[in-house]
Structure 1
Amino acid sequence: MLNALNEQSPDKILMLMQAFKEDPRPVKIDLGVGVYKNANGQTPIMRAVKKAEQQWWEEETSKSYVNLAGDPEFSDMMIGLILGSSVARNSVAAIATPGGTGALRQAFELIQMASPEAKVFVSDPTWPNHLSILRHLGIETVSYRYFDSATGAVNFDGMMQDLAKVSKGDVVLLHGCCHNPTGANLNLTEWQTVVDLLNEIGAVPMIDIAYQGFGDGLEADAKGTRLVATSCPETLIAASCSKNFGIYRERTGILMAVSQDSSLRNLAQSNMTHLNRQNYSFPPDHGARLVTHVLRDDDLRADWQAELDDIRNGMLTLRQQLADELQRLSGSNRFGFIAQHRGMFSRLGLSSAQVEQIRADHAIYMVGDSRINIAGLNDESVPLLADAMIKVGA
């Protein structure tokens, strides 16, 4: 049987990580892997998370299963964090999942169960694993224009022209904030225009929100998602706790299905819980428990938000430093868009040849489409990246 399998293409980012690890040069910069790192290159455990873990170690009395949908209090806390009071709780079905990737997988399978003929429209570019999972499930995907490489901004006219081709019942996948891989976001006026089009057509929005708090703040980063959830008849939301709580290895995520018709909530909940049972039965609980502890305790929550603000502001400072240094070296503001982007990522607009030259000549590693992880920089490496970019003709 096993000899009938086909070799799978290796993940490009994982290959990049391995190449960086094997590079013997003493000064090298990793801007590829999508994990937050501080100025010392570490991914720290957040203070509030560490305290919550210590508290839970004292309180925990059993390692038994929770339930198929996960701990209800975790769902309540995450719904409150992402949606606030914008929708009634009884209109939201939710399941805990192994990370945001697990939430995406369950969402795509839910779409497949409910509407096998539905197409999923995906931004060009998008996080590569979106496309990988959709292909694996055999779901038809259609790309819509999103990023203008020349300006570093959203190509909103092209996006709307492509979304006009969506049919009733199709699904449009949107990034809630901090678009991965470009860093370019919709403004609220653009969000409203997208909502109006989807409602006119009868298409279903699905939002991947993996970086809430990394852009302009927890509340600001949720505005687009809340607008969609309150304006559209149905909305799917896949969320991750990996980044804003720094619990990557705990694999903590959630899938929500919001319906303006609250009578459909129980139906959605039943099917989502069924999907958990078919896939992994009971979702992991440790990370969800830590998130719940942090969000329900006023002191822990305040400390978490303060540290998250520091992380966000640090990345914004790095963005501005890089844009300023590139302006100084180039004599133009053509890289000003870097300071306008939000989240961990920006796409620099370099060719694959320039990316490879920067790796070969300067030991700076980034994804082939020139996506960089801003959090991989610090005060010392910003000038090195800017200098390398100018030297390769950026």
Structure 2
Amino acid sequence: MSHFSAIAQVPGDPILGLLDAYRADPNPAKLDLGVGVYKDASGLTPIPRAVKLAEQRLLETEQTKTYIGGHGAAEFGERLLQLVLGTDSALLRDGLAGATQTPGGTGALRLAGEFIARNLPGRSIWLSDPTWPIHETLFAACGLRVEHYPYVGADNRLHVDAMLEALQRIPAGDVVLLHACCHNPTGFDLGTADWQRVLDVVKARELLPLIDFAYQGFGDSLEQDAWAVRLFANELPELLVTSSCSKNFGLYRERTGALIVRADSAGRLAAVRSQLALLARGLWSTPPAHGAAVVAEILGDAELKALWSAEVEGMRQRVASLRSGLVEALRPHGLAERFAHIAEQRGMFSYTGLSAEQVARLRTEFSVYLVSSGRASVAGMSEARLDYLAGAIARVCQA
């Protein structure tokens, strides 16, 4: 008897599968624009110097490896709240916001999904079309009904009016997921006036926003990228925010993130946090400690925080430079105007507008790997390879 004989093999994650194919490709000119990690000019994903210095301190001072509790390390939660909501936030002063540490931003999304499914039964969650594919997977796994509102259309343009029209039809009380900045996968972000219009609809429809904040510092700056989150937190009585330290701290494999809750009273916040701790117990018991300790050490030390902030700004500027550099590299091929949106988008990703057929040709003919939707990880490019990439794009577009 075989207990496993009826178990079917399922396809692997398409992005991770793309990484496997890239690694097996012997072409020395290959480019990985699929996986969403920051890379430096040499193609490596570096550890920020501030992180290494913080780790050295922890190595010398850490005295225990015991569990850190259901909500995670207190210092991490307090300092991350200040980073997200502002050091002078009245919400923090009045005890109206709290952070529950999670294994990365993905863990925060899963915890949010479980909380909604268990404690807000019957609510649908509305995602942008398109959105990060894992959003679909996570919330469906929680048993939530997943719906969509338009965001970027087939013309590869941001459709704010269509988005607002759809939000106005969402049933009162439903949950709407919004990307705080650096929209994944499109790179198209709402402007400040757009955010105010979305907030007005959220208020009128009494929707519960879940803001995914995975790229703080990669859009305009650490402070500016938090603008929409702080607007919603200050204007609404209740809010969920998922925060990730993977990109801006370079702590990808340490799985460091948090689910932040804003409530209208300290009592309601305590009730919600009690439910989150119960759910977390069944998901991962207690979160990993190392990454959180690193973040807390950096944010709690003025010199380390200043160094880290400068490093994040350096990464942000480099990605922005790669965007404009690619557009310029496409100019000799007569494609600068067609792909001008790449320089206008923000963050690590770009919805290039390339078709699935063109993406397939880039891979087979030029060993350039990106997702079939045309989403490219700009952070995977390098200054030295922009002409090669532009030439490859020109070949598949002009054939």
Equivalent position to 1:192, from 193, 196, 203: 196
Q: Corresponding residue for 2:341?
A: 337
- The 5 Å alignment of 1:276-295 reads 276-295=280-299
The reply on whether 1:78 has 2:80 as its aligned counterpart is yes
Q: Corresponding residue for 1:352?
A: 356
- The 5 Å alignment of 1:111-122 reads 111-122=116-127
- The number of equivalent residue pairs is 393
Equivalent position to 2:142, from 137, 143, 158: 137
Q: Corresponding residue for 2:100?
A: 95
Q: Corresponding residue for 1:382?
A: 386
Equivalent position to 1:61, from 63, 69, 75: 63
Unaligned segments of structure 2, at least 5 residues: none
Q: Is the 8 A contact 2:82 2:89 kept in 1?
A: no
Distance 1:331 1:119, change over 3 A: closer
Q: Corresponding residue for 2:53?
A: 51
Give the superposition deviation at 1:331.
5.6
Deviates more, 1:253-262 or 1:327-336: 327-336
Give the AA of the match of 2:44.
Answer: Q
Give the superposition deviation at 1:8.
2.8
The reply on whether 1:220 has 2:187 as its aligned counterpart is no
Q: Is the 8 A contact 2:117 2:143 kept in 1?
A: no
Cα-to-partner distance string for 1:236-293 (whole Å, 9 max, x where unaligned): 0011100000011111010011013333111111111111112111111110000000
Q: Is the 8 A contact 2:335 2:394 kept in 1?
A: no
Give the superposition deviation at 1:314.
0.5
Q: Is the 8 A contact 1:327 1:334 kept in 2?
A: no
- Report the 3-state secondary structure (helix = DSSP H, G, I; strand = E; otherwise coil) of the residue aligned with 2:260: strand
Distance 1:331 1:240, change over 3 A: closer
Query: Aligned partners of 2:350, 2:154: CA distance in 1, in Å?
Result: 11
Q: Corresponding residue for 2:11?
A: 9
Cα-to-partner distance string for 1:185-225 (whole Å, 9 max, x where unaligned): 01111111111101101110001111100111100111011
The reply on whether 1:311 has 2:318 as its aligned counterpart is no
Query: Aligned partners of 1:194, 1:206: CA distance in 2, in Å?
Result: 13
Q: Corresponding residue for 1:393?
A: 397
Give the AA of the match of 2:171.
Answer: S
Give the superposition deviation at 1:2.
3.5
Q: Is the 8 A contact 2:15 2:35 kept in 1?
A: yes
Equivalent position to 2:242, from 226, 238, 241: 238
Cα-to-partner distance string for 1:102-156 (whole Å, 9 max, x where unaligned): 1000000010112120000001111111101112222101111111342x44211
Q: Is the 8 A contact 2:238 2:261 kept in 1?
A: yes
The reply on whether 1:325 has 2:326 as its aligned counterpart is no
Give the superposition deviation at 1:332.
5.0
Equivalent position to 1:21, from 20, 23, 32: 23
Query: Aligned partners of 1:87, 1:272: CA distance in 2, in Å?
Result: 23
- How high is the TM-score relative to the length of structure 1? 0.97
Give the AA of the match of 1:100.
Answer: G
Unaligned segments of structure 1, at least 5 residues: none
Q: Corresponding residue for 2:301?
A: 297
Give the superposition deviation at 1:327.
3.0
Q: Corresponding residue for 1:104?
A: 109
Give the superposition deviation at 1:233.
2.0
Q: Among all aligned residue pairs of Structure 1 and Structure 2, give the percentage whose two residues are the same amino acid.
A: 42
Give the AA of the match of 2:179.
Answer: H
Deviates more, 1:100-109 or 1:253-262: 253-262
Give the superposition deviation at 1:65.
1.1
Q: Is the 8 A contact 1:69 1:94 kept in 2?
A: yes
Query: Aligned partners of 1:270, 1:254: CA distance in 2, in Å?
Result: 15
Q: Is the 8 A contact 2:105 2:257 kept in 1?
A: yes
Query: Aligned partners of 1:198, 1:158: CA distance in 2, in Å?
Result: 15
Query: Aligned partners of 1:183, 1:72: CA distance in 2, in Å?
Result: 33
Query: Aligned partners of 2:5, 2:274: CA distance in 1, in Å?
Result: 39
Q: Is the 8 A contact 1:93 1:268 kept in 2?
A: no
Give the AA of the match of 2:331.
Answer: Q
Query: Aligned partners of 1:386, 1:286: CA distance in 2, in Å?
Result: 41
Query: Aligned partners of 1:244, 1:28: CA distance in 2, in Å?
Result: 26
Equivalent position to 1:272, from 252, 276, 289: 276
Give the AA of the match of 1:217.
Answer: S
Deviates more, 1:215-224 or 1:8-17: 8-17
Distance 1:86 1:166, change over 3 A: farther
Give the superposition deviation at 1:6.
4.1
Q: Is the 8 A contact 1:94 1:255 kept in 2?
A: yes
Query: Aligned partners of 2:9, 2:228: CA distance in 1, in Å?
Result: 40
Distance 1:364 1:332, change over 3 A: closer
Cα-to-partner distance string for 1:22-67 (whole Å, 9 max, x where unaligned): 1121211110011111110001110000000000000001111121
Query: Aligned partners of 1:260, 1:327: CA distance in 2, in Å?
Result: 53
Query: Aligned partners of 1:179, 1:149: CA distance in 2, in Å?
Result: 16
Q: Corresponding residue for 1:204?
A: 208
Q: Is the 8 A contact 1:115 1:169 kept in 2?
A: no
Query: Aligned partners of 1:281, 1:378: CA distance in 2, in Å?
Result: 40
